[in-house]
């Protein structure tokens, strides 16, 4: 149960069959992507260039109630988005899809990721008299596309021109009056793939969506590729594809669903491999191995397979906690208590190995060790299926300051003492890439190694979110 928050999830569909209800398909797709963001959700539908949308805060059922969905009607193209945002971004204007009107009609857009030259671009657009509704990255991309489209002969040309100005990590889906477009950043830091439901095409953050919809996965969108779907079929533009690629390794550790395949590697396989490597690197004499749900489960199974130590359920996660509850109960410790319970029947009198995906601040780990001890564990050994998370991620997650990361402030022994475990071990940084060795592209592992795949030297990155707030406020 990582303290690292999820990313956003994007979805788009181009309907080629009259029977498909694209609002319903988009709604179901967002359910499959719910793990990537629980702050808000939205759907936009394109009916012959007339776009209708609905978006709100909360998890899918509360954000997208049936009466609002039925008002969206039907159409040929639709976009869907689930959003995670840090606490300082709770402005409804930041919900997606963003739907705007410009010189060529309407345009809708949603994305997963972070634009690292956000301030520079926003400054430039501000000086061109741009009027912003939000302080999000999505609106920057929308402006760049709209501006480029004034001269560009086609929407795909405009998108290409716009993304040439972007730096950072992004997987975006756009909808013009007649086209569905998927774009992945040149390094492929954020995942994006496409598939088919019957003869209709779909683009999504993760392949688990195609299984949920009874469709088929076709392939990952390449880093830098612009994929355009229209009534003539699928068109791929690869002029922006770069040499250096850097998929976020944390997709395998935590972000993606275990039933997804990301850039050629099954997430469940990667997590089980991490568990097997942990068993080789940290052999422990124990009675049971259990997991911190959900992301530690497959690694714990891998540890059990490699070590022969019995896998048992040690912790139960309450899956029914929505945003409304989180808003009401701000006390972190209280929340953790409600979210996780130890299974005394399995734990009492046992020497327990407990496996989690990562440690960020350390508070959750401390709580978990305490829970297991209260349930009667004789020993608690915590293992982490990734290396120490020492460096901020500027490429999406909300860990944008080093001071919040316990591994950047304390040694492993000190962390072990802080969380109160009998021992603590991490997967080695050298072996991390082994978990997804068949991946088609290179990796970003900067949060573990400090080696960022792109320039993050702009000091304002440390304070990106507070600067966004300032930029969106009244300054005179």
Specify the pairing of strand 40-47 against strand 77-83: antiparallel
Q: Is 16 exposed, middle or buried (0-12, 13-18, 19+ CB in 10 A)?
A: middle
Interface with ligand SF4 (CB under 6 A), residue from 174, 446, 454, 456? 446
| Secondary element (H or E) of residue 30 | helix 22-32
Part in contact with ligand SF4 (CB under 6 A); list of ranges 57-65, 134-142, 290-298, 443-451: 443-451
Q: What's the angle, vertex CA 311, arms to CA 307 and CA 316, rounded to 5?
A: 145
Question: 3-state DSSP call for residue 217?
Answer: strand
Per-residue tokens: 217: 């996965």
Q: What's the angle, vertex CA 151, arms to CA 147 and CA 153, rounded to 5?
A: 115
User: 193 an active-site residue?
Assistant: no
Residues 228-267 that bind ligand SF4 (CB under 6 A): 248-250
Q: Which of 8, 290, 393, 447 is catalytic?
A: 8
Part in contact with ligand SF4 (CB under 6 A); list of ranges 23-31, 103-111, 143-151, 392-400: 392-400
State how far the Cα of 47 lies from the Cα of 67, in Å rounded to an integer: 19
Nearer to ligand SF4, 138 or 396 (CB): 396
393 touches ligand SF4 (CB under 6 A): yes
Q: What are phi and psi of 203, to 5 degrees?
A: -120, 140
304 touches ligand SF4 (CB under 6 A): no
Number of chain residues interacting with ligand SF4 (CB under 6 A): 11
Q: Of 414, 433, 416, 435, whose CA–CA distance to 424 is shortest?
A: 416
Nearer to ligand SF4, 461 or 468 (CB): 461
* Cis bond upstream, residue 97 (ω within 30): yes
202 touches ligand SF4 (CB under 6 A): no
397 touches ligand SF4 (CB under 6 A): yes
270 touches ligand SF4 (CB under 6 A): no
What residue has token string 């969206």? Answer: 72
Residues 337-356 that bind ligand SF4 (CB under 6 A): none
Beta bridge partners, 55, equal 42
Interface with ligand SF4 (CB under 6 A), residue from 22, 115, 173, 189? 189
Q: Of 413, 389, 412, whose CA–CA distance to 401 is shortest?
A: 389
How far apart are CB 442 and ligand SF4 at their closest, in Å?
A: 11
The CB density around residue 38, as the number of other CB atoms within 10 Å, is: 21
Nearer to ligand SF4, 75 or 453 (CB): 453
Part in contact with ligand SF4 (CB under 6 A); list of ranges 51-59, 80-88, 355-363, 438-446: 438-446
Nearer to ligand SF4, 189 or 340 (CB): 189
How far apart are CB 392 and ligand SF4 at their closest, in Å?
A: 8
Interface with ligand SF4 (CB under 6 A), residue from 445, 461, 464, 472? 445
How is the chain split among helix, strand and coil, in percent rounded to 5? 35, 25, 40
Q: Of 86, 108, 96, whose CA–CA distance to 14 is shortest?
A: 108
How far apart are CB 443 and ligand SF4 at their closest, in Å?
A: 7
Interface with ligand SF4 (CB under 6 A), residue from 72, 290, 301, 447? 447
Binding site for ligand SF4 (CB under 6 A): 189, 248-250, 393, 395, 397, 444-447
* Residues carrying an active site annotation: 8
């Amino acid at each position: 149960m990582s303290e690292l928050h999820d990313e956003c999830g994007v979805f788009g569909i181009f309907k080629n069959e009259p029977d498909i209800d694209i609002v319903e398909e988009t709604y179901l797709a967002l359910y499959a992507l719910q793990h990537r963001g629980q702050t808000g959700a939205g759907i936009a539908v394109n009916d012959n260039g007339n776009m209708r949308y609905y978006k709100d805060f909360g998890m899918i059922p509360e954000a997208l109630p049936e009466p609002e969905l039925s008002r969206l009607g039907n159409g040929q193209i639709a976009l869907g988005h689930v959003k995670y945002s840090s606490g300082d971004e709770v402005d409804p204007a930041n919900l997606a899809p963003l739907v705007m009107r410009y010189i060529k009609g309407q345009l809708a857009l949603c994305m997963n990721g972070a634009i690292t030259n956000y301030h520079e671009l926003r400054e430039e657009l501000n000086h061109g008299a741009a009027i912003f509704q939000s302080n999000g990255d999505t609106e920057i991309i929308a402006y760049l596309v709209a501006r480029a489209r004034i001269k560009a002969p086609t929407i795909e040309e405009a998108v290409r021109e716009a993304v040439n100005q972007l730096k950072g990590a992004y997987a975006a889906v756009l909808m013009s009056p007649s086209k569905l477009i998927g774009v992945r950043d040149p390094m492929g830091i954020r995942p994006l793939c496409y598939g088919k439901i019957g003869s209709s095409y779909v683009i999504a953050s993760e392949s688990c969506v195609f299984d949920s919809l009874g469709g088929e996965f076709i392939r990952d969108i390449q880093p830098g590729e612009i994929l355009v779907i229209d009534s003539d079929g699928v068109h791929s533009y690869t002029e922006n594809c770069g040499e250096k690629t850097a998929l976020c390794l944390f997709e395998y550790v935590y972000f993606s669903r275990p039933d997804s395949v990301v850039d050629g590697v099954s997430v469940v396989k990667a997590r089980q491999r991490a568990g097997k490597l942990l068993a080789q690197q940290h052999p422990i004499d124990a009675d049971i191995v259990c997991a911190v749900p959900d992301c530690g489960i497959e690694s714990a199974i891998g540890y059990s397979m490699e070590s022969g130590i019995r896998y048992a359920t040690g912790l139960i996660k309450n899956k029914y906690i929505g945003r409304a509850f989180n808003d009401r109960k701000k006390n972190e410790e209280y929340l953790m208590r409600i979210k996780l319970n130890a299974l005394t029947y399995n734990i009492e009198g046992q020497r327990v190995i407990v496996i989690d995906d990562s440690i960020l601040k350390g508070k959750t780990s401390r709580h978990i060790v305490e829970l297991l001890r209260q349930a009667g564990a004789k020993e608690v050994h915590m293992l982490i299926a990734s290396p120490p998370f020492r460096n901020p991620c500027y490429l999406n997650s909300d860990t944008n300051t080093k001071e919040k990361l316990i591994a950047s402030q304390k040694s492993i022994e000190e962390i072990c003492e802080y969380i109160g475990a009998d021992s603590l071990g991490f997967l080695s940084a050298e072996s991390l890439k082994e978990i997804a060795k068949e991946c088609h592209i290179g990796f970003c592992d900067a949060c573990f190694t400090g080696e960022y795949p792109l320039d993050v030297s702009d000091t304002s990155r440390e304070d990106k979110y507070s600067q966004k707030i300032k930029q969106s406020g009244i300054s005179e």
